[in-house]
A = this chain, B = another copy of it.
Amino acid sequence: MASNRASARPPAPAGPDRRARRRQETIDEILGIAVDVMSEDGVTGLSLSEVARRLGIQPPSLYKYFPSLMAVYDELFRRGQIEHLATMRAAMVGVEPGLPALAAALDAAGRWALANRPVAQLMFWRPVPSFEPSAESFAPSVELVALHREALADAVAAGQLGAAADSDEAVWLISTMISGVLTQAFANEPGTQWGQGRFTPLFPRLLATLPVLYPPHR
């Protein structure tokens, strides 16, 4: 290992790294507070002034981190998409491909949505008409569809579902099921956990109708 002078201590200035890390922490803090505000005042109730107030800084300072309110929404949307997708993927690891993996992924998605209500609403309910996610932030949703399609194809290959289930239509159907459950839970039972309340326990039963909607050959 070649080493120059003072190889024992970290690379010379070390300032930029620290500064960048501190900046990232502040950004994370802003987004965390933004989620809190949305939880209390609704997704459309987010205001930069309120975030600044809770962070103990003046509103103009926020503009060093985000160029606008919509940029905050967009970053929340972007991170939400990534996290949501990663959560589903992680839930499928080691689970039998096909319907079991699909069920595990959707179960995880439901838990994630309940645990991240305002972000999920921002992502899938679109309550802010003036907010349009950027192409980059929207990108993971394409992968989400692909994930569903793969699981459905596996289920067809395994003889769990009929060939018609390997389709975009089946993806729409599944997303309709989960959004129905979540909509009802959000509107009528805010604060419930997945598996609790009147609505979330209905999801597995809805999902169990898939082999009826797409009957395998035998």
Contact = CB atoms under 8 A, between A and B. Distances in A.
Contacts of A124: 183, 187
Count of this chain's copies in the oligomeric assembly: 2
Contact of A180 (B43, B127, B180): B180
Contacts of A188: 126
A129 interface: yes
Given A172-B198, A183-B179, A127 B44 contact: yes
Given A209-B209, A213-B205, A213-B209, A172 B187 contact: no
Nearest to A44: B44
A177 interface: yes
Question: From DSSP, what is the main secondary structure of chain A's interface residues?
Answer: helix
A128 B187 CA distance: 10
A45 B129 contact: yes
Nearest to A198: B172
Given A172-B199, A184-B176, A125 B125 contact: yes
Interface residues of A, number: 37
B41 A129 contact: yes
Contacts of A202: 169, 172-173, 176
A58 interface: no
A40 interface: yes
Interface of A: 40-45, 124-130, 168-169, 172-173, 175-181, 183-184, 186-188, 198-199, 202, 205-206, 209, 212-213
